[in-house]
Homo-oligomer: A and B are copies of this chain.
Amino acid sequence: MSDMSIGRLSALSGVKVPTIRYYESIDMLDAPPRSPGGQRRYGPGHLERLRFIRHGRELGFGLDDLRALQDLSARPDQSCDEADRIARRQLQDVERRIAGLEAVRAELLRMVERCSHGVVDECRVIQTLSEHALCVHHDQAGQTPSKAG
Point out which of A62, A87, A118, A144 has the most chain B C-beta atoms below 10 A from its C-beta: A87
Q: How many residues of A contact B (CB 8 A)?
A: 72
Q: How far is the CB of A82 from chain B (nearest CB, A)?
A: 9
Q: Determine the chain B residues whose CB is within 8 A of the CB of A89 once the complex forms.
A: 146
Q: Contact between B98 and A102 (Cβ–Cβ < 8 Å)? A: yes
Query: Within 8 Å CB of A59, what residues of B?
Result: 104, 107-108, 129, 141
A65 to chain B, nearest CB (A): 7
Asked if B91 contacts A105 (CB within 8 A), the reply is: yes
Cβ distance A84 to chain B, nearest Cβ, rounded Å: 5
Per-residue CB proximity of A72-113 to B under 8 Å, as 1/0? 110111111101101111110111011001101101110110
Interface residues of A (CB under 8 A from B): 48, 51-52, 54-56, 58-63, 65, 69, 72-73, 75-81, 83-84, 86-91, 93-95, 97-98, 101-102, 104-105, 107-109, 111-112, 115, 117-123, 125-126, 128-130, 132, 135, 138-149
